[in-house]
Chain A
């Protein structure tokens, strides 16, 4: 067993883990943060995306020990004070989800796209940037709309952005 210490959604966590434990297993099984999902085992689907020190990573491809001393944000950690993050609100408003399984990864990926590409995102940019996220329900049409709207809303919500 190896000891890992990290911050998850702003809270310090120290835990003993089997060294082969994946970050996604650590989050889901040790911390019971089950909002981060596993949809494949080849880093293709993106259902497991979380932020590691502010950058999107696929938690199925990161060992828990690699996240030692880092700050992790999961889907459970982006709403502030009972208010949805603007990207969460945009997914809801624009029907950017159906079964909800890919949604946490989509939202975490979308926030990461905004942090890299800015708040004015055109359709082609969003579609290209979603290369690492699969959705089987929506045909992406409303996800693209949601991300464009969420990106704009994030520009108007600096407080939430800072919290993220």
Chain B
């Protein structure tokens, strides 16, 4: 390992600009002649729009234009789309209702887009929005996930019972048979609480139109600018793909919420041409709460069958997933193919059957949020495994170990073929780091102080590196999920890597440069990573699902291989040797068995001056591209152990220890990887203890600011003990599995298993706020000092 190569904790290259305030986020861009957009949003969860009177608003000072859904329809701008087709059990396609960027005839959630005012200043746009009169016929709303299909309210005409799909996965008959021969069946009812992503940078967009070239530019807070361009052009039809440049510069966190193609950026592009000026929009925080796609929101009943020894025989799950008022970009895939295929967990479960009903409600759209389906699956599996172990009177760790998958590859009953792993190794290491053997002593010590101490395990697995394009295509995906890379070597030997991945906090400018440094033997200072601009990078699928290492870097590795191969040809000419005799080692091309070598930079220069070879023999230049399509998902897995102490007098849960042992395969930069784990745990702890979106029965979002929605703060969290085990991933050339979501996937069941352990009963839901825990603790028999 070199100081900047694979495995080195290199300090991040991008940090110089971030710590000095020189980062460039979308709201930092102002374009000449720019105007400002403000969206008038529905105050009602469900209403027919009888009429919109924009007349007075148009005459307000500074107003450039007031546009509504009628204007969109007149320009034949299409609706927002959901890019993953799910079929119900009966074979029928999912029921996707129309999703116009500005409401046409009806609004379906509080925050739905009714009109946009474009003005000289944001203040003038807001003032004018107040002068728009909308005549609403308010309808009853449905917000409750479990009741949606029975509610006397219809969100979309296409779906009389508010059901988008009744989907299933697994083998029902085999699962029923497994339950029939079970010695013990454990049942659990779970709610996976709705979360609001809350990247600290709010979404923003600047649309610009150049009449001279009839072309458009969109600056947007996107995790995947090429996908945004494709959807905006091919489906929404707002601009031709080759005439639309999408730039996603520095982006301040995404966590999934910036994958999707939203109404606001659509409108900014469209309106820029209409008003012949750049149009800028930046969300305020309440707009973010109302209109960013939310996450989770499942109601689940699950059962686990075990035999007399405690071996798991089968699992059956029924989930109702709230998809909100409209199907967001990837909404349909999250509670289906990103959820049920993970229900086998780390365990050898012979039979699994899962049914998922996706439902519409009058709430914000729900889509991928850090983990996206996998946290929901892990919560089901790990809560159920824990409850089963307790009901059987078995040690939680021992019960898990008994049921671990130990032979690879392992085909689960729910699509996934686990390629490698060593789950016992992670468990052993976690038990040691968590000092599990002395836990009872600590519990007694807590009891002496009148406190309840509990320990909770989460042996999670997830699927990252999405995904083999053929496989996801067969499951309904509208796109392929490969990644692209281009490596441009300059005549001076410096290197630009153009990648379709996008960094919004993950440190790609450093990690990707480490790979280049490692492979080419050049300093990371000689490497620039270029991303987030469709005019620079030819195409790419973007960053989500912890795919940028396993897929994005694999594409770079493939392109680097081609660069080295071409470099060998150049070196062969310069060194007057046969190409087959040229070796590339430690940054030098050399003739095998001799001391004749050329540095990487020398070969780059020779490639461009082309003096030593004929253009007929070899093309000048040194630039190579690659598309990498994965051969399988990757399967990061690990064990998180949470230890809590509850004050039964106040209901406050304090996390005393957090131990994480993860197997992410090969690690490029352990400092960055640990940072990803920390952040993921914080979001998972937030879900378990603090966060939850609350709509009242009329569909008003009660938690629409940081005053009302409890974000994890520094004081709510402990320092984390993070350890690693490594089984290199055999499914990609770098052995990487992915680390971005693990913490958020592992953490919620670890916390709730710890709390239920402390309470001595299972009756607690997320978020386990002090009030909820205090109530639950009233049913707990307080231990005596003697216990």
Interface residues of A, Cβ cutoff 8 Å to B: 18, 20, 28-29, 33-42, 44-45, 47, 74-76, 79, 84, 88-89, 91-93, 95, 97-104, 107, 123, 126-128, 130-131, 133-144
Contacts and interface: CB of A to CB of B under 8 A. Distances in A.
The DSSP consensus for interface residues of chain A is: loop
A144 B714 contact: yes
Contact of B675 (A29, A45, A95): A95
B123 A18 contact: yes
Nearest to A29: B30
The DSSP consensus for interface residues of chain B is: loop
A34 B715 contact: no
A137 B582 CA distance: 46
Contact of A92 (B11, B30, B713, B715): B11
A41 B283 CA distance: 10
Contact of B681 (A74, A101, A139): A139
Contact of A135 (B24, B200, B672, B680): B200
Interface in B7-40: 11-12, 14-25, 27-28, 30
B200 A134 contact: yes
B20 A35 contact: yes
Q: What 5 A-B pairs have minimum CB-CB distances, sorted nearest first? A: A35-B21, A101-B252, A100-B18, A139-B682, A99-B505
A145 B675 CA distance: 12
A47 B200 contact: yes
A40 B199 contact: no
B16 A92 contact: yes
A37 B719 contact: no
Interface of B: 11-12, 14-25, 27-28, 30, 123, 197-202, 250-253, 255, 282, 284-286, 504-507, 671-672, 674-675, 678-683, 705-707, 711-715, 717, 719-720, 743
5 contacts: A41-B285, A95-B672, A99-B199, A127-B717, A141-B719
Contact of A100 (B27, B252, B282, B683): B252
A127 B506 contact: no
B21 A98 contact: no
A3 to B, nearest CB: 19
Nearest to B18: A100
Contacts of A45: 200, 285, 706
Given A97-B15, A139-B720, A35 B706 contact: no
B715 A142 contact: no
B510 to A, nearest CB: 10
Nearest to A146: B19
Contacts of B683: 136, 139
A82 B30 CA distance: 27
A98 B707 contact: no
A74 B21 contact: yes
A97 B520 CA distance: 28
Most buried by B among A28, A107, A127, A130: A127
A163 to B, nearest CB: 15
B743 to A, nearest CB: 7
Contacts of B707: 42, 44
B505 A34 contact: no
Contacts of B27: 28, 34, 38
B253 A99 contact: yes
Contact of A126 (B18, B250, B672, B714): B714
Contacts of B672: 95
A138 B202 CA distance: 17
B255 A131 contact: no
Nearest to B683: A136
A156 to B, nearest CB: 19
A41 B21 CA distance: 20
A139 B25 CA distance: 22
Given A127-B714, A134-B200, A98 B20 contact: no
B679 A44 contact: no
Given A97-B15, A136-B200, A144 B719 contact: yes
A131 B250 contact: no
B18 A103 contact: yes
B251 A99 contact: yes
Contacts of A76: 20-22
B21 A139 contact: no
Given A99-B252, A136-B711, A137-B253, 19 more contacts: A28-B27, A37-B201, A42-B285, A44-B705, A44-B711, A91-B19, A98-B507, A99-B201, A100-B17, A101-B201, A103-B18, A127-B714, A133-B713, A136-B683, A138-B678, A139-B679, A140-B713, A140-B717, A141-B678
